Amino acid sequence: MLQSKSITTKMNLVDILRSHRGQFSHILGYALTNDNARQLNLSITNTELLNKDYETYVSKLDHEHYVWLGGYGEQRSIYNSSSLFSDVDRCIHLGVDIQLTPGTSIFAPLAGKIHSFNDNAQPYDYGPTIIIEHELNGHTFHTLYGHLSRESLTNLKIGQLIEKDQLFCHIGNREVNGGWPPHLHFQVIEDMQNNIGDYPGVASKKDAPMFLANCPDPSFLLGFPNEPIIYNI
Protein backbone atom coordinates (compact mmCIF):
# COMPACT_ATOMS: atom_id res chain seq x y z
CA MET A 1 0.00 0.00 0.00
CA LEU A 2 1.02 3.61 -0.51
CA GLN A 3 2.40 5.31 2.56
CA SER A 4 1.59 8.87 3.58
CA LYS A 5 4.88 10.00 2.02
CA SER A 6 3.54 9.18 -1.46
CA ILE A 7 0.42 11.24 -0.86
CA THR A 8 2.55 14.20 0.25
CA THR A 9 4.82 14.02 -2.80
CA LYS A 10 1.76 13.79 -5.03
CA MET A 11 0.99 17.42 -4.25
CA ASN A 12 4.55 18.33 -5.14
CA LEU A 13 4.09 16.61 -8.50
CA VAL A 14 0.85 18.50 -9.13
CA ASP A 15 2.61 21.78 -8.33
CA ILE A 16 5.44 20.90 -10.71
CA LEU A 17 3.07 19.97 -13.53
CA ARG A 18 1.09 23.16 -12.96
CA SER A 19 4.26 25.26 -13.12
CA HIS A 20 5.06 23.75 -16.55
CA ARG A 21 1.52 24.09 -17.88
CA GLY A 22 1.59 25.26 -21.50
CA GLN A 23 5.13 23.94 -22.04
CA PHE A 24 4.20 20.34 -22.88
CA SER A 25 3.94 19.14 -26.47
CA HIS A 26 0.53 18.29 -27.86
CA ILE A 27 -0.19 14.58 -27.44
CA LEU A 28 -2.21 14.50 -30.70
CA GLY A 29 0.12 16.82 -32.58
CA TYR A 30 -2.26 19.77 -32.19
CA ALA A 31 -3.76 21.74 -29.32
CA LEU A 32 -6.97 20.63 -27.60
CA THR A 33 -9.17 23.72 -27.25
CA ASN A 34 -12.76 24.68 -26.50
CA ASP A 35 -13.30 24.78 -30.26
CA ASN A 36 -12.21 21.24 -31.10
CA ALA A 37 -12.65 19.22 -27.89
CA ARG A 38 -15.68 18.20 -25.85
CA GLN A 39 -16.10 16.53 -22.49
CA LEU A 40 -17.55 13.02 -22.75
CA ASN A 41 -19.60 12.13 -19.69
CA LEU A 42 -19.27 8.40 -19.10
CA SER A 43 -20.25 8.64 -15.44
CA ILE A 44 -23.27 7.13 -13.73
CA THR A 45 -24.96 10.55 -13.97
CA ASN A 46 -25.36 10.13 -17.74
CA THR A 47 -28.84 8.63 -17.94
CA GLU A 48 -28.67 8.39 -21.74
CA LEU A 49 -25.69 6.04 -21.47
CA LEU A 50 -27.56 3.85 -19.00
CA ASN A 51 -30.04 3.06 -21.79
CA LYS A 52 -27.40 2.26 -24.43
CA ASP A 53 -24.30 0.14 -24.58
CA TYR A 54 -21.00 2.03 -24.49
CA GLU A 55 -20.04 1.26 -28.09
CA THR A 56 -23.37 2.43 -29.52
CA TYR A 57 -23.25 5.59 -27.44
CA VAL A 58 -19.77 6.72 -28.54
CA SER A 59 -20.40 5.74 -32.17
CA LYS A 60 -23.14 8.38 -32.42
CA LEU A 61 -20.92 11.25 -31.24
CA ASP A 62 -19.77 13.95 -33.67
CA HIS A 63 -16.24 12.65 -34.27
CA GLU A 64 -15.83 14.72 -37.42
CA HIS A 65 -15.70 18.05 -35.60
CA TYR A 66 -14.66 17.20 -32.05
CA VAL A 67 -12.23 15.16 -29.98
CA TRP A 68 -14.18 13.57 -27.12
CA LEU A 69 -12.51 13.24 -23.73
CA GLY A 70 -13.63 10.90 -20.96
CA GLY A 71 -13.28 12.28 -17.47
CA TYR A 72 -10.74 11.63 -14.77
CA GLY A 73 -12.15 10.42 -11.45
CA GLU A 74 -15.53 9.48 -12.91
CA GLN A 75 -17.60 6.76 -11.33
CA ARG A 76 -18.69 4.64 -14.29
CA SER A 77 -21.14 1.83 -14.91
CA ILE A 78 -19.66 0.69 -18.25
CA TYR A 79 -17.34 -1.79 -16.49
CA ASN A 80 -20.16 -3.77 -14.92
CA SER A 81 -20.35 -6.33 -17.74
CA SER A 82 -16.71 -7.38 -17.48
CA SER A 83 -15.38 -9.91 -14.97
CA LEU A 84 -12.07 -8.02 -15.12
CA PHE A 85 -13.70 -5.32 -12.97
CA SER A 86 -16.78 -6.82 -11.31
CA ASP A 87 -14.94 -9.10 -8.89
CA VAL A 88 -13.68 -6.10 -6.90
CA ASP A 89 -16.33 -3.53 -7.90
CA ARG A 90 -13.85 -1.29 -9.74
CA CYS A 91 -15.66 1.71 -11.18
CA ILE A 92 -13.56 4.89 -10.57
CA HIS A 93 -11.60 5.93 -13.66
CA LEU A 94 -7.99 6.97 -12.99
CA GLY A 95 -7.04 8.55 -16.31
CA VAL A 96 -8.47 10.39 -19.30
CA ASP A 97 -9.94 8.54 -22.29
CA ILE A 98 -9.57 10.26 -25.67
CA GLN A 99 -11.85 8.81 -28.36
CA LEU A 100 -9.76 8.40 -31.54
CA THR A 101 -9.73 6.45 -34.78
CA PRO A 102 -7.40 3.44 -35.18
CA GLY A 103 -4.00 4.44 -36.45
CA THR A 104 -4.07 7.92 -34.89
CA SER A 105 -0.53 9.06 -34.04
CA ILE A 106 0.38 9.79 -30.41
CA PHE A 107 3.22 12.16 -29.48
CA ALA A 108 5.19 12.38 -26.24
CA PRO A 109 4.21 15.46 -24.20
CA LEU A 110 7.69 15.58 -22.68
CA ALA A 111 10.96 13.68 -22.85
CA GLY A 112 11.47 10.43 -20.98
CA LYS A 113 12.50 6.80 -21.32
CA ILE A 114 10.60 3.56 -21.75
CA HIS A 115 9.85 2.20 -18.29
CA SER A 116 8.02 -0.89 -19.56
CA PHE A 117 5.53 -2.15 -22.12
CA ASN A 118 3.24 -5.13 -22.58
CA ASP A 119 0.33 -6.45 -24.58
CA ASN A 120 -2.32 -6.82 -21.88
CA ALA A 121 -4.48 -8.95 -24.11
CA GLN A 122 -7.18 -10.06 -21.67
CA PRO A 123 -10.69 -8.96 -22.79
CA TYR A 124 -11.48 -5.41 -21.60
CA ASP A 125 -7.89 -4.85 -20.51
CA TYR A 126 -5.52 -2.26 -22.05
CA GLY A 127 -4.27 -4.32 -24.96
CA PRO A 128 -0.85 -2.98 -26.06
CA THR A 129 0.44 -0.60 -23.39
CA ILE A 130 3.48 1.67 -23.08
CA ILE A 131 4.69 3.33 -19.87
CA ILE A 132 7.21 6.17 -20.04
CA GLU A 133 9.28 7.37 -17.09
CA HIS A 134 9.89 11.11 -16.83
CA GLU A 135 11.91 13.43 -14.64
CA LEU A 136 10.82 17.01 -14.16
CA ASN A 137 12.42 19.37 -11.64
CA GLY A 138 14.09 16.35 -10.04
CA HIS A 139 10.76 14.57 -9.62
CA THR A 140 10.19 11.15 -11.23
CA PHE A 141 6.77 10.16 -12.51
CA HIS A 142 5.26 8.09 -15.33
CA THR A 143 2.73 8.33 -18.13
CA LEU A 144 0.74 5.31 -19.32
CA TYR A 145 -0.68 4.90 -22.83
CA GLY A 146 -3.21 2.10 -23.25
CA HIS A 147 -5.27 0.58 -26.11
CA LEU A 148 -2.50 0.98 -28.69
CA SER A 149 -1.73 -0.93 -31.87
CA ARG A 150 0.44 -4.03 -31.58
CA GLU A 151 2.90 -2.43 -34.00
CA SER A 152 3.49 0.27 -31.37
CA LEU A 153 5.40 -2.29 -29.27
CA THR A 154 7.68 -3.38 -32.11
CA ASN A 155 11.38 -2.75 -31.49
CA LEU A 156 10.79 -1.03 -28.13
CA LYS A 157 13.46 -1.50 -25.47
CA ILE A 158 13.44 -0.82 -21.74
CA GLY A 159 15.32 2.41 -21.12
CA GLN A 160 14.91 3.60 -24.71
CA LEU A 161 14.89 7.39 -24.85
CA ILE A 162 11.75 9.14 -26.04
CA GLU A 163 12.11 12.77 -27.08
CA LYS A 164 9.57 15.49 -26.43
CA ASP A 165 7.09 15.66 -29.33
CA GLN A 166 8.26 12.29 -30.69
CA LEU A 167 5.68 10.16 -32.47
CA PHE A 168 6.08 6.88 -30.58
CA CYS A 169 2.82 4.93 -30.89
CA HIS A 170 -0.55 4.63 -32.63
CA ILE A 171 -4.10 3.85 -31.52
CA GLY A 172 -5.21 0.23 -31.94
CA ASN A 173 -8.49 -1.17 -33.21
CA ARG A 174 -10.92 -3.12 -31.05
CA GLU A 175 -9.53 -6.45 -32.28
CA VAL A 176 -6.28 -5.77 -30.38
CA ASN A 177 -7.11 -3.05 -27.81
CA GLY A 178 -9.00 -5.21 -25.34
CA GLY A 179 -12.30 -5.05 -27.21
CA TRP A 180 -13.08 -1.36 -26.62
CA PRO A 181 -14.21 1.33 -29.07
CA PRO A 182 -10.86 2.80 -30.23
CA HIS A 183 -9.47 5.35 -27.80
CA LEU A 184 -6.38 6.30 -25.84
CA HIS A 185 -6.29 5.74 -22.10
CA PHE A 186 -3.82 8.33 -20.78
CA GLN A 187 -2.79 8.23 -17.13
CA VAL A 188 -0.18 9.88 -14.89
CA ILE A 189 1.35 7.60 -12.26
CA GLU A 190 3.80 8.73 -9.64
CA ASP A 191 4.78 5.43 -7.98
CA MET A 192 4.57 2.36 -10.23
CA GLN A 193 4.47 0.12 -7.14
CA ASN A 194 6.56 -2.54 -8.90
CA ASN A 195 4.11 -2.87 -11.78
CA ILE A 196 5.63 -3.65 -15.18
CA GLY A 197 3.84 -2.88 -18.43
CA ASP A 198 0.57 -2.40 -16.59
CA TYR A 199 -1.07 -0.38 -13.83
CA PRO A 200 -4.72 -0.25 -12.71
CA GLY A 201 -6.73 2.28 -14.72
CA VAL A 202 -9.89 1.78 -12.69
CA ALA A 203 -10.18 1.55 -8.89
CA SER A 204 -12.84 0.41 -6.45
CA LYS A 205 -14.55 3.12 -4.42
CA LYS A 206 -12.80 1.80 -1.33
CA ASP A 207 -9.33 2.07 -2.88
CA ALA A 208 -10.00 5.22 -4.93
CA PRO A 209 -8.43 7.71 -2.46
CA MET A 210 -5.12 5.84 -2.55
CA PHE A 211 -5.06 5.49 -6.34
CA LEU A 212 -6.24 9.04 -7.06
CA ALA A 213 -3.45 10.31 -4.82
CA ASN A 214 -0.89 8.34 -6.81
CA CYS A 215 -2.48 9.16 -10.20
CA PRO A 216 -3.21 12.91 -10.39
CA ASP A 217 -5.34 14.41 -13.13
CA PRO A 218 -3.34 14.27 -16.40
CA SER A 219 -5.03 17.39 -17.77
CA PHE A 220 -1.96 19.56 -17.14
CA LEU A 221 -0.07 17.43 -19.67
CA LEU A 222 -2.92 17.54 -22.19
CA GLY A 223 -3.21 21.32 -22.16
CA PHE A 224 -6.91 21.41 -21.31
CA PRO A 225 -8.39 24.91 -21.27
CA ASN A 226 -9.95 24.24 -17.86
CA GLU A 227 -8.18 23.75 -14.54
CA PRO A 228 -7.55 20.04 -13.79
CA ILE A 229 -9.19 18.30 -10.87
CA ILE A 230 -7.07 17.96 -7.74
CA TYR A 231 -8.36 15.51 -5.16
CA ASN A 232 -7.57 16.57 -1.61
CA ILE A 233 -7.21 13.13 -0.10
Beta bridge partners of 118: 129
- 32 lies in some domain: yes
- 231 lies in some domain: no
The number of folded domains in the chain is 1
Identify the CATH number of the domain in which residue 103 sits.
2.70.70.10
- 139 lies in some domain: yes
- 24 lies in some domain: yes
- 227 lies in some domain: no
Residues in CB range of 111: below 8 A, 6 or more apart: 134, 161, 162, 163, 164
pLDDT band of residue 190 (cuts 50, 70, 90) is very high
Residue 87: is its pLDDT beyond 60?
A: no
Residue 58: is its pLDDT beyond 90?
A: no
- 120 lies in some domain: yes
Domain hosting residue 82, numbered range? 4-222
Question: 205 vs 86, which has greater pLDDT?
Answer: 205
- In angstroms, how far is CA 218 from the centroid of its own chain? 8
pLDDT of residue 88: 55
pLDDT of residue 100: 96
Average pLDDT over residues 165-184: 96
Average pLDDT over residues 73-78: 82
Residue 167: is its pLDDT beyond 60?
A: yes
**What DSSP state is assigned to residue 26?**
P
- 228 lies in some domain: no
Rounded Cα distance between 13 and 17, Å, is 6
The structure's pTM equals 0.88
Burial class of 213 by CB neighbour count within 10 A (0 to 12, 13 to 18, 19+): buried
- 229 lies in some domain: no
Asked if residue 187 lies in contact with residue 211, where contact means CB atoms within 8 angstroms, the answer is no
pLDDT of residue 47: 83
Residue 231: is its pLDDT beyond 80?
A: no
Average pLDDT over residues 72-81: 75
